[in-house]
């Protein structure tokens, strides 16, 4: 019988990416604690695993829409005088 994802202590990098919404590998590694990010990970032998509790906590608190940036004003936006 398989253990439900949210009850697992650890998961693989690929399982963590899929659970977080299929984000890119580079972005996921940026979010790991080895790069100063909020998602905890652990090495077992030569493999890195993600702490599921940390990943779930990140997903609950971090996915909020970013405010839209105002358009940049540059030479192409200036009116001819």
SS3 48: strand
DSSP 11-23: EEHHHHHHHTTS-
* Residue 57 near residue 22 (C-beta atoms within 8 A): no
SS3 44: strand
CA torsion sign for 14, 31, 4, 60 is negative
Q: What is the pLDDT of residues 51-80, one digit of tens each?
A: 999 999 998 887 655 566 666 666 555 555
State pTM to two decimals.
0.70
Q: Where are the domains of the chain?
A: 5-62
């Amino acid at each position: 019988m398989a253990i439900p994802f949210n009850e697992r202590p650890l998961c693989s990098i690929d399982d963590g990416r899929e659970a977080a919404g299929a984000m890119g590998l580079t972005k996921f590694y940026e979010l790991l604690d080895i790069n100063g990010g909020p998602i905890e990970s652990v090495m077992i032998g030569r493999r890195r695993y993600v702490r599921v509790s940390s990943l779930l906590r990140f997903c609950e608190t971090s996915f909020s829409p970013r405010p839209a940036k105002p358009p940049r004003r540059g030479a192409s936006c200036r009116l001819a005088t």
